[in-house]
Amino acid sequence: MTWARRIEGKVVTDVAAAIVVALTIGYAIVDPPGPSSPWPTWSAWPVAALVSLPIALRRRRPRAMLVLACAAATLATLSGAVAAGMIWLTFVPTVLALYLVATTASASWSVSGLVAGALAATGAILIFYDQVLPGLPLPQTPSELPPSWPVEIGAICVFLVVGWALGGAVRWKRETTARLVRHLSEAAVADERRRIARELHDVIGHSMSLIAVKATVANHVADERPQEVRAALAVIERTSRGALTEIQRVLGLLRSDGDLADTHVPAPGMADLPELADHARSAGVEVELTVHGEAALPPTVAMSVYRIVQQALTNVITHAGPTRCSVTVGIDGRTATIDVTDDGPRHGRPPRASRGGGHGLIGMRERVKMYGGTFEADFRPEGGFRIAARLPYDQNDAVT
């Protein structure tokens, strides 16, 4: 409805402009500053209407109306049906049609229209002043603006160039805006893909690491300690169910195009940190969890804190476990700080893999970057690994 109204409004504007131009051209033909046209006086209005008609129809067929406007003005000039000294008015519809062509058609088309219009106007005016004007009766009173072909040609060429330049500028602005919108849309899609990939990486990586550890334990003690196998299977079952629940939440986000916090399954937060610590303990990591501060966090910040701790513990389980690990989370109403430190593999055993890179650390950095915080991850001189993150947030967004 909005676009339809805009188009209707533009058409009405074009019709009004065509009427105004037609009246101006007709009046100039009836009362010209130079010699009068040999045509009957009444013919001024049909000629003016025919010359101005392309203005009213230019939005339907811009290029065709440009050709029609230029041809009508040229024929009217060559036939002597125009006002001597005001021929440039006859080419005003050509200028308006050229403007629209420059805004909608290719650059080659608009340049061709500009050159063709200038050549046609120049040729028609030169022929008019050379062959038609000498045979017209002189006006009874001398004009303050005597006919001059250089003035006529110069005015028409200036108007054509200005119309073409303005139309080209509008077209460039539209194309630039369209490219910017497309770039922003692509960037938004890429950000959403990275966000979903980060969520899936955190959920699947943590759960599969824990399941792999417990499955390995169960496989090694299956014959000697069947009760421990049963406990490992219980952990695997509980972990897999939790992972399925969170995967369903992320997939629900894909189907609904909403936010992670708006899905039906509750997003994890600060209250779920003890459960994370229990999972790590079941994988053989001695976790000491400490939370300082009781200020409420915004849901998105709370989920980011949870995910960072989750991924940090996943790295400990995967690369250093069994070992000892300290997790400290501090909240002061303006900043959430996270510090996860492990002692490294026990008995001098080398780590299973390097922890200097990987998607886990990249995902944590991206989460911290969203809040303009700081992130550090490096090996400790005394052994082990340390992850420290600082997430500033607006306390007015906290939910009490």
The region of weakest confidence among 94-108, 139-153, 318-332, 368-382 is 139-153
Per-residue confidence at 347, pLDDT binned at 50, 70, 90?
low
- pLDDT score of 261 more than 60: no
Which of 132, 163, 183 is a domain's end point?
183
- Residue ranges of alpha helices (H) inside the chain are 2-30, 44-57, 62-78, 87-90, 92-104, 107-127, 149-220, 226-256, 273-282, 299-319, 359-370
pLDDT at 346 over 50: yes
Residues 162 and 51 in one domain: yes
Contact 329, 337 (CB under 8 A): yes
Range of the domain at 159: 2-183
- Asked if the model's pLDDT at residue 259 lies above 70, the reply is no
pLDDT, tens digit, for every residue of 276-322? 888 788 777 889 999 988 778 888 888 889 889 988 888 888 777 68
Q: Write down the pLDDT at residue 400.
A: 36
Domain end: 162, 183, 204, which one? 183
pLDDT at 134 over 60: yes
For range 16-38, the mean pLDDT: 82
Name the residue type at position 96.
L
Question: Angle at Cα 291 formed by Cα 289 and Cα 292, nearest 5°?
Answer: 145
Tell whether 29 and 174 lie within a shared domain.
yes
Pairing of strands 286-292, 324-331: parallel
Extract the tokens encoding 93: 């519809």
Residues 173 and 295 in one domain: no
pLDDT tens digits for range 179-198? 888 887 777 667 766 766 66
Please report whether residue 87 resides in a domain.
yes
- Residue 242 forms part of a structural domain: no
CATH of the domain at 302: 3.30.565.10
Mark whether 170 and 21 lie in a shared domain. Answer: yes
Query: 63: closest CA among 9, 118, 112?
Result: 112
Domain assignment of residue 216, yes or no: no
- Provide the number of structural domains found in the chain: 2
The model's pLDDT over 199-218, given as tens digits with 9 standing for 90+, comes to: 666 666 666 666 766 676 66
pLDDT at 322: 80
Residues 159 and 276 in one domain: no
- Judge if 156 and 41 occupy the same domain: yes
- Selected residue with higher pLDDT from 41 and 348: 41
If asked whether residues 33 and 172 sit together in one domain, one would say yes
- Sign of torsion, CA 267 207 195 388? positive
The most confident of the ranges 78-87, 164-173, 222-231, 261-270 is 164-173
Residues 130 and 24 in one domain: yes
**Residue 35 pLDDT greater than 60, yes or no:** yes
pLDDT band at 387 (very low <50, low <70, confident <90, very high): very high
Give me the percent of the chain exceeding a pLDDT of 90: 23
Q: What is the mean pLDDT of residues 374-380?
A: 90
**109 or 139: which carries more pLDDT confidence?**
109
Higher pLDDT, 293 or 112: 112
Measured from the Cβ of residue 355, the count of other Cβ atoms closer than 10 Å reads 20
Per-residue pLDDT tens over the stretch 98-109: 999 999 888 888
Structural domain ending residue among the three candidates 183, 214, 247? 183
161 and 286 belong to one structural domain: no
Which of 297-302's residues contact partners 24+ apart within 8 Å by CB, and which partners?
297/269, 297/270, 297/331, 297/336, 297/393, 297/398, 298/393, 298/394, 298/397, 298/398, 298/399, 299/261, 299/267, 299/269, 299/399, 300/260, 300/261, 301/336, 301/371, 301/391, 301/393, 302/267, 302/269, 302/270
Q: Which of 105, 100, 117, 108 is nearest to 166 (CA)?
A: 100
pLDDT score, position 1: 46
Q: What is the pLDDT of residue 137?
A: 64
Compute the radius of gyration of the chain from its Cα atoms: 39
Q: Which structure tokens are listed for 337?
A: 């700080």
Lowest mean pLDDT across 126-130, 344-348, 373-377:
344-348
In a domain, 226, yes or no: no
Q: Are 391 and 371 in contact (CB under 8 A)?
A: yes
Q: Is residue 253 part of a domain?
A: no
| Length of the chain in terms of residues written | 400
The answer on pLDDT for 39 being more than 70 is: yes
